[in-house]
Amino acid sequence: MDSVALRGVRARGRHGCLPAERELGQEFVVDATLFLDTAPAAASDDLAKTVDYGALAGELAAIVSGEPVNLIETLADRLAMACLRHELVEEAEIRVHKPAAPIPVPFADVVVTVRRSRP
CATH label of the domain that carries residue 25 = 3.30.1130.10
Structure confidence at residue 119 (pLDDT): 80
Residue ranges making up the domain that contains 93: 2-117
Mean pLDDT for each consecutive 10-residue tract of the chain (119 residues)? 97 97 97 98 97 97 98 98 97 98 96 95
Structure confidence at residue 91 (pLDDT): 98
Specify the pTM: 0.95
Structure confidence at residue 87 (pLDDT): 94
**CB-based burial, 81-107: b 16+ in 10 Å, e otherwise:** ebbbebebbebbbbbbbbeeeeeeeee
Structure confidence at residue 73 (pLDDT): 98
- Structural domain count, the chain: 1
Phi first, then psi, for residue 31 (nearest 5°) are -115, 130
Marked catalytic residue, from 60, 69, 98, 114: 98
Structure confidence at residue 108 (pLDDT): 97
CA distances from 76 to 15, 70, 88 (A): 11, 12, 20
Phi first, then psi, for residue 45 (nearest 5°) are 55, 40
Structure confidence at residue 60 (pLDDT): 98
49 is catalytic: no
